[in-house]
Structure 1
């Protein structure tokens, strides 16, 4: 029995069959696009929900739609974290994550210093 290692010629090397990738057609759905489409709406963090309830802050559907529209505009301008100031409330929103991080009423917001934001949106109803 020969225990030596023999070098094979290149034409005898293992060859795997080529797999042809299917040509993309317009009906193909990209996974990334599906994730983006599902995450388009503005989310409210657990912390922000608690603050809204504790401080009796109510924001109606029309106001939420306005906030979402303005956040999308801000996002297109490169804003990642924003302070949204409304008549009765101030919201800290991560445009990067489409998430309301915290909420406070206007009286509380006037005595605060806001850091780590790179944009402010003023909404008058």
Structure 2
């Protein structure tokens, strides 16, 4: 047991700023903070490119549908997915789960004959 080494995970700048100079952070606290940051639900953002595609293709997604997409992307991120294909009745979205950002969008007819690369997860919504 004498050969065990423990590496400290560096604190994020925002966390470091919230600590006073008199507080010491144990590795356990640092790990718990990172775990919390990784599992906290993040609001889904839509990139400028994806917004343009949604408008050009007249794709309408309700607030309830966006909420469901956001929840499923958050769930996928917690399972290690970085980039996902989200298939909906009316649209197909490429979403960076890691960044909680919709990268692009297309209608389902357009998506039918596409080859999707560089994704590591698929979310199918009905």
> Counterpart of 2:79?
77
Query: What TM-score does the superposition give when structure 1 sets the normalisation length?
Result: 0.70
The answer on whether the counterparts of 2:74 and 2:97 sit within 8 Å (CA) in structure 1 is: yes
> Counterpart of 2:102?
100
Give the whole-Å Cα distance in 1 for the aligned partners of 2:79 and 2:63: 25
Tell me how far 1:22 sits from its aligned partner: 1.3
Tell me how far 1:82 sits from its aligned partner: 0.1
> Counterpart of 1:14?
none
> Counterpart of 2:67?
65
Residue 23 in 1 paired to residue 40 in 2?
Answer: no
Q: In structure 2, the residue corresponding to 1:121 is in which secondary structure? A: strand
| Unpaired runs of at least 5, structure 2 | 1-20, 25-32
Give runs of ≥4 in structure 1 deviating > 3 Å: none
> Counterpart of 1:44?
46
Tell me how far 1:53 sits from its aligned partner: 0.0
Q: Calculate the aligned-residue CA RMSD, in Å.
A: 2.2
Tell me how far 1:51 sits from its aligned partner: 0.1
Tell me how far 1:54 sits from its aligned partner: 0.2
How many residue pairs are counted as aligned between the two chains? Answer: 95
Give the whole-Å Cα distance in 2 for the aligned partners of 1:83 and 1:73: 14
Give the whole-Å Cα distance in 1 for the aligned partners of 2:96 and 2:82: 6
Of the three residues 53, 56, 59, the one matched with 2:55 is 53
Identify the structure with the greater helix proportion. Answer: 2
The answer on whether the counterparts of 2:89 and 2:108 sit within 8 Å (CA) in structure 1 is: yes
Give the whole-Å Cα distance in 2 for the aligned partners of 1:23 and 1:117: 41
Give the whole-Å Cα distance in 2 for the aligned partners of 1:111 and 1:99: 24
